Structure 1
Amino acid sequence: ICISKPGGATSRAVAQRLRHPAAQPDSTSTSSTLYDKSSSTKMKGLFKSKPRTPVDIVRQTRDLLSFAARSSESRESKREEKMAELFKNLRELKSILYGNSESEPVSEACAQLTQEFFRENTLRLLITCLPKLNLEARKDATQVVANLQRQQVNSRLIASDYLEANLDLLDILIAGYVLESQHMKKFFDYIQLPKFDIAADAAATFKELLTRHKSTVAEFLSKNYD
């Protein structure tokens, strides 16, 4: 056993340690750090975006359609961004009304969507903007409108009420079933257009018109064409 003399280096080291004990972890500081992390996590949770309701989606779609209707003077990059949002919204509306591979449509959500859609002129805006939509978006829009015509809210077909009050939309669509419209003759021009999607849509609509209302069409053709 080695015992150092009082004046040796070992004694001086021991005395030094006694005068300056090793620092102990600050429990207060550790607790504060943990609290800060927990608080930060909670704050992130508070500001997490909420899922959009059917009403929210319809309202945003209406705003985007309004933008599309007047976007001729907008920057190309901004226009493309807004149109992409519009296409996404149309797909979401279709998903709510028809359901998807994971879930069936929810009646309450469909009712909310239908009420908001016909609360203002969303349908008119959609029809006006149809030429500005790409082919897939037009298909989605067509399916949305077709479904909305069957949706009942409080035992009422809101779409029928709206269309009765806005019969001019049938002329705007040109699809129509109003044979005396001056737009009827334009089908022959549209079917021959070099742009495939327009020609195909016109041909399909024209075929539907001729085969679904045979007696009315026969009368119209005999009166207007030799």
Structure 2
Amino acid sequence: MEGERKMREGGREEGKVKIGSCVSTRGGAGRDHSAPSRRLSSQHLSGSLTSSATGEPSDQSDLGGAKMKGLFKSKPRTPSDLVRQTRDLFLYAHGSISLPDSKRDEKMAELSRNIRDMKSILYGNSEAEPVAEACAQLTQEFFREDTLRLLITCLPKLNLETRKDATQVVANLQRQQVNSKLIASDYLEANLDLMDVLIEGFENTDLALHYGAMFRECIRHQIVAKYVLESEHVKKFFDYIQLPNFDIAADAAATFKELLTRHKSTVAEFLTNNEDWFFADYNSKLLESSNYITRRQAIKLLGDILLDRSNSAVMTKYVSSRDNLRILMNLLRESSKSIQIEAFHVFKLFVANQKKPADIVNILVANRSKLLRLLADLKPDKEDERFEADKSQVLREIAALEPQDLA
């Protein structure tokens, strides 16, 4: 009788183990539940149900809490939640909320993770493509308040990798549409002063490339480009392009080109209203620069500007200036073939002008033999039928010119 009672109690104890344990269903059927296995399970169960200090059973509410914790996981963050939390973290980075250094480091690490998560939503990752609805939610929340302003002003406080992620996030957001509308454009129209911060960023060696990349994406919006062209900021690019740091100078040159070629009607209006000072600075600071790379980039961009149909009125005025012609003829004599070729594409506009002023004609006539000899030897590295056709036409035009009396 005593033995039967013990066996029944042992069975009840084993039942408790099976109920309270987290048992995998894989391979459960026909499993050999040996004594050591039961003892191990009992130990695990004991650790869950008893106090580590006394070994006594814990309060049943603790058991209930453990069960609830296992059954209900925290709700995943939505893209909107992510932006709101990031906005709060920017306040810590900005210093608006004071914290001990250790706590601040935790907040900055969390901020870096959040920015990386936003980048993953917008660009996707190795496991998944971006989801349009998630991108729209993130974009809408991002521009609902001043998150972009906080990001730009806090950029110096972020580490290098986070700056890169933040730059990519800002770039992507300029292209995101919500209900077929670029809401970044509306936000920037109401916050154009942010362009002041980004442009001045070119003067910060550590941040220039990040601010420059953001700025180029922002001027994709015509209202932003118009603001910059009509401000004093545009004059700064003549200096930024010649900064001693090669990477920053090249970035400034790429930005300057984007500013002067993307929005045709806005650029044409700007050049028409500002052509006198603009081309005077362009010639003296860029085309006559002592830096070879600056001259090469400047003559290529000048050709892009003048050959664009939307700038035809500006082009006609430019090729009527003897000072401009003198600069182009000097560039034709450069030792660099790349500069010579690009200079030819602008020089041919002076020759092709059917209403050439008398002083332009006389300069071409006075230098006819040198020009004909120089142009005859000018050949691109690769065969280019269009170039050869243009060159032949220019040679014929110059050969046929007659000197004219000055009025």
Smaller-chain TM-score range? Answer: 0.7 to 0.9
Matches within 5 A, 1:19-38: 20-22=2-4, 23-26=6-9, 27-37=11-21
1:96/1:106 contact within 8 Å kept? yes
Counterparts of 2:145 and 2:106 in 1: how far apart (Å)? 24
Q: Aligned to 2:127, which of 75, 95, 102?
A: 102
CA deviation string 1:77-114 (max 9, x = no partner): 22222212211211111111111122111111111111
Q: Which amino acid aligns with 1:85?
A: E
Q: Secondary structure at the match of 1:104?
A: coil
Q: Which amino acid aligns with 1:212?
A: E
Matches within 5 A, 1:68-107: 68-70=93-95, 73-107=98-132
Query: Structure 1 residues 86-95 or 27-36, which shifts more?
Result: 27-36
Q: Which amino acid aligns with 1:84?
A: A
Q: Which amino acid aligns with 1:206?
A: A
Q: Secondary structure at the match of 1:119?
A: coil
Q: Which amino acid aligns with 2:123?
A: Y
TM-score under structure 1 length normalisation: 0.73
How far has the Cα of 1:63 moved from its partner?
1.1
Name 2:159's counterpart in structure 1.
134
User: Are positions 1:206 and 2:252 aligned together?
Assistant: yes
CA deviation string 1:7-32 (max 9, x = no partner): xxxxxxxxxxx6x4452232444334
Q: Where in structure 1 are there 5+ consecutive unaligned residues?
A: 1-17, 194-198
Name 2:188's counterpart in structure 1.
163
Counterparts of 2:190 and 2:156 in 1: how far apart (Å)? 23
TM-score under structure 2 length normalisation: 0.43
- CA 1:58 to 1:191, structure 2 compared with 1: closer, same or farther past 3 Å? farther
Name 2:171's counterpart in structure 1.
146
Aligned residues: 202
- CA 1:103 to 1:173, structure 2 compared with 1: closer, same or farther past 3 Å? same
CA deviation string 1:144-183 (max 9, x = no partner): 1111111111111111111111111111212555253469
Counterparts of 2:94 and 2:235 in 1: how far apart (Å)? 24
Counterparts of 1:130 and 1:204 in 2: how far apart (Å)? 22
Counterparts of 1:73 and 1:183 in 2: how far apart (Å)? 38
Q: Aligned to 2:82, which of 48, 52, 57?
A: 57
Q: Among all aligned residue pairs of Structure 1 and Structure 2, give the percentage whose two residues are the same amino acid.
A: 57
Higher relative contact order (CA 8 A, sep 6+): 1
